[in-house]
Amino acid sequence: MGSTGGFFLACCLMLSSVCCGASAAQATNSRGQQSSASVATQSTQSRQTCSSRLSVQTEAAAAALPSLEPGLVFHDLSPANGEGLKYARLEKSPQGKPVALQTAVVRMVPGDGSPDIDYVDLVGAVHIGEHRYYQQINGLFRRYDVVLYELVAPRGTRIPRGGGKNHSVIGNLQSGMRKVLGLGLQLEDVDYHLPNLVHADLTPDEFFESMARRNESVAGMLGRAWLAGMGRQRSPKALANQMNLYRNLLSGDSDKALKIWFANEMVEMSTMQHAIEGKNGSTLLAERNRKAVQVLRQEIARGHRRIAIFYGAAHLSGIQKLLEKDLGLVPAKIAWLNAWDLN
């Protein structure tokens, strides 16, 4: 599989936070000839479908993983290296061999004119990862007054322990990739029933209304991602990743080779937001980032002082910029969690 396909798959996985009901809502919004009454009826049905799939816990649903103390080690950031932060990286051994796909926890603290809080931690997420990674996430969440999380879903949605059924194309792709790579799923392993978790994302109606205003489509965003993948496939970094894949495949450990290759693609995707955003931003990233900051303001007004925003790593550089511009927060510290074990 070429770098174009890998980058495209990584972008598809980023779309997995758009809930199962969004596909039905997309179908509703795409029928421009329908009456407003018909659109309203089908939009309601989409909300009900999504809500029932995510809120009804079956007897077979597994419990979310127990928490595990993450043991984070924060390192100070200077004003200079606070710019252009990466929220995902490939950690390597002294010999240069990949050992882990890591996601960042960046601590934003008050600057001049900031609200009276202790800090906001930007906690990077990947939607498929090691079970131990999600155990550490569960443990980390217990440190905060409130945790704001992403998921395009109706207001009041409760994700069942063990995850809900997601029969969308993106959901099936995500499930297949995690099985191939031997990983867990965020929606299955993260304990969304912790009392301090707060939904901070668009509803399906808001998502597709924004896309309509912007004249966007999911297919269009994925098309830009595909073109971006084609544009980078001849870059030295992409060619090196391809050569490493072939070399590792020849070594006989095809599962490990595929995991390392795809980890590289995930890191590239997290730093290439413009591939989906375009020059004017997008609903998928920019509008959802703004929603997260809007909910953050509400939680600050309620008196919460230690807050986390748990969003996909591709979102967090944009959210960081909003926090710097709108709230006067500055990045002060960074820590890393091992999301994938590549040993």
Percent of the chain clearing pLDDT 70 (strictly above): 64
What is the reported pLDDT for 103? 96
The answer to which of 82-91, 256-265, 268-277, 317-326 has the lowest mean pLDDT is: 268-277
Which whole number is the average pLDDT over 198-202? 95
* Mean per-residue pLDDT, 240-254: 61
Range ranked top by mean pLDDT from 16-20, 170-174, 202-206, 217-221 = 202-206
Give the ranges where the chain is alpha helix by DSSP (H): 3-14, 21-30, 36-55, 131-141, 169-181, 186-189, 204-214, 218-232, 236-250, 254-270, 274-277, 288-301, 313-327
User: 42-79, pLDDT tens digit by residue?
Assistant: 344 444 444 444 433 333 334 556 677 788 899 999 76
Written as six digits, the tokens of 311 are: 């969003």
pTM above 0.75, yes or no: yes
Which of 57-61, 151-155, 305-309 has the highest average model confidence (pLDDT)? Answer: 305-309
Sequence spans of domains, the chain: 3-341
Could you give the CA distance from residue 2 to residue 226 in angstroms, rounded to a whole number?
A: 11
At CB < 8 A and 24+ separation, what contacts does 24-27 make? Answer: 24/49, 24/50, 25/50, 25/204, 25/205, 25/207, 25/208, 26/208, 26/217, 26/218
Instruction: Quickly state the pLDDT bin for 260 (edges 50, 70, 90).
Output: confident
Region 159-171: what's the mean pLDDT? Answer: 65
Show the tokens assigned to 33.
């000839």
Residue 181's pLDDT is 83
Name which of 30-44, 138-152, 291-305 the model is least confident about. Answer: 30-44
